[in-house]
């Protein structure tokens, strides 16, 4: 059987994922923009469930950027420790809070490059921030998305930047935000890193993964 084009594969992937996960959305809590951004920072190598739980305590004590900027590193670190990478995430939270309360004038920039100036914010988190807060078309390539897209055949790469570009080539802009969330849903439910449930997967009829 001839291999289908990536554009056709993307179309099939989108239709199958939307049918399987019609309520797909970001699993990080979103009450205020700055809080979502900080949850994004805390989410590196940590589950969203843990981030949501830990951030609740953080924002009860420090409800806004000004109070976080005034908090000591030790105070922040003591709360966010369960999220791991405590030192680097503390520095990132502080840097973000200082910029938001200072040079940004209380408004998060809708600018990936500007956000990436914050210590510890890479392209993935910057894309998450502009996508969720402003609806700016951006693809969040996390471990689930990277794994899923390679197995399906949308990309041959494991480099997040290359995976992002490959996704952007075959999915329309208005699908970029959602495809990241849908990939996470698929990765959690079926396309797990270990022992993927290919037999029950809604993409099993066309997925390029070799069993």
* Intervals of CATH 1.10.1670.10 along the chain: 6-25+140-189
CA atoms within 13 A on the CB side of 209: 21
Classified by CATH at the fold level, domain 33-134 comes out as Endonuclease III; domain 1 (1.10.340)
Of the candidates 60, 208, 38, the one whose C-alpha atom is nearest the C-alpha of residue 121 is 38
This prediction's pTM: 0.92
Given a cut of 80, is residue 185 above it in pLDDT? yes
What is the per-residue pLDDT across 135-146, written as a single tens digit (0 to 9) for each?
Answer: 999 999 999 999
What is the per-residue pLDDT across 43-65, written as a single tens digit (0 to 9) for each?
Answer: 999 999 999 999 999 999 999 99
Residue 162 CB contacts under 8 Å (≥ 6 apart), including other chains: 155
What is the per-residue pLDDT across 111-155, written as a single tens digit (0 to 9) for each?
Answer: 999 999 999 899 999 999 999 999 999 999 999 999 999 999 999
In percent, the amount of the chain with pLDDT more than 70 equals 98
What's the CATH architecture for 6-25+140-189?
A: Orthogonal Bundle (1.10)
**Mean per-residue pLDDT of the chain:** 95
């Amino acid at each position: 059987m001839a291999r289908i084009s990536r554009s056709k594969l993307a179309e099939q992937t989108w239709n199958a994922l939307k049918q399987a996960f019609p309520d797909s959305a970001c699993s990080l809590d979103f009450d205020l923009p700055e809080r979502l951004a900080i949850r994004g920072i805390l989410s590196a190598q940590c589950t969203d469930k843990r981030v949501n739980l830990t951030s609740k305590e953080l924002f009860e004590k420090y409800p806004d950027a000004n109070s976080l900027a005034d908090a000591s590193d030790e105070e922040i670190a003591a709360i966010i420790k369960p999220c791991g990478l405590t030192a680097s995430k503390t520095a990132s939270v502080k840097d973000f809070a200082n910029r938001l309360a200072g040079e940004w004038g209380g408004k998060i920039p809708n600018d990936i490059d500007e956000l990436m100036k914050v210590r510890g914010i890479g392209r993935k988190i910057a894309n998450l921030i502009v996508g969720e807060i402003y609806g700016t078309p951006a693809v969040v390539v996390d471990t689930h998305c990277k794994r899923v897209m390679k197995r399906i055949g949308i990309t041959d790469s494991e480099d997040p930047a290359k995976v992002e570009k490959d996704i952007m080539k075959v999915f329309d802009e208005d699908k970029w935000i959602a495809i990241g969330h849908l990939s996470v849903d698929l990765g959690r439910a079926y396309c797990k890193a270990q022992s993927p449930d290919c037999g029950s997967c809604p993409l099993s009829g066309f997925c390029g993964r070799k069993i």
